[in-house]
Amino acid sequence: MGKRIRAQRVGKGSNAYRVPPRGRMLFVTYKNIDGDVVDIVDDPGRNAPLAKVKYSDGTISYLIAPNGVKVGDKSDFVVSLSKIPVGAEIFGIEIYPHSGPKMCNTPGSFAMLVSKTKDNCVVQLPSKKTKEVNLQCRASLGRPAGDGLREKPWMKAGKRFYAMRRRGKIYPRTSGVAMNAVCHPFGGPTKPGTPKTVSRHAPPGAKVGAWGARRTGRRRGKT
């Protein structure tokens, strides 16, 4: 007798397939006053380290730490887009004035300031798409620290297992074609002849692969 396929078990919503709580994420915000970096802290909800900044009015806030920042530095790496030269690398970009950092917050990601007009500027994102942003928006100079974390090899299977569990990922994963026919629609000895497309109205146990696809195959004229 077969068992429910992974897509059915995940959709059930049991605790085994939920992301466990990791605590409250630290709030990142920009201020218009100068401050000093007093500590570099780790946020459990982010991959990039945060710079703990103490401002001149005595308040404490957190900023995404750029590469090369250290304790004792000034928070002058956060400036408005109107003061940043064209061609500079920026991250933590606001989508509208005083919205807080919204774009390019992951380690190693950065955008580039392409051009400026009277009131707006054009920013090229890591996807090579461009976005027009108000010049009064603020951003951080450089790149977020922590790049290369995903390039570090997993030395033990247990380390990766617990890391995937913290992110709500299923690990290890077994492909459908490697299963028995009673466990997955792609399994069994006749798996090479099983089509990947399936009707949109198929039952959940059979709705795997490219379900409801409008077309398949390589487009003509495309490589």
Q: Is 134 helix (H, G, I), strand (E, B) or coil?
A: strand
End-to-end alpha carbon distance in the chain: 44
pLDDT for 188 equals: 84
Q: Find how far residue 161's CA is from the centre of its chain.
A: 20
**Listed residue (194, 196, 222) closest to 211, CA to CA:** 196
pLDDT per position in the chain (223 positions), as tens?
Answer: 567 787 788 777 788 777 777 667 788 889 888 899 999 998 877 889 999 999 988 899 999 999 989 998 998 899 999 999 999 999 999 999 999 899 999 998 999 999 998 889 999 999 999 999 999 999 999 999 988 887 889 999 999 998 888 777 888 888 888 888 888 888 888 766 677 888 999 887 788 888 889 888 888 775 5
pLDDT for 57 equals: 87
Strands 210-211 and 197-198: parallel
Domains by residue range for the chain, with CATH: 151-211 (4.10.950.10)
How many Å apart are CA 147 and CA 118, to the nearest integer? Answer: 34
CA count, 13 A, side-chain hemisphere, 51: 28
Q: Find how far residue 78's CA is from the centre of its chain.
A: 22
Q: Find how far residue 155's CA is from the centre of its chain.
A: 24
Strands 78-80 and 60-64: unpaired
Q: Is 193 helix (H, G, I), strand (E, B) or coil?
A: helix
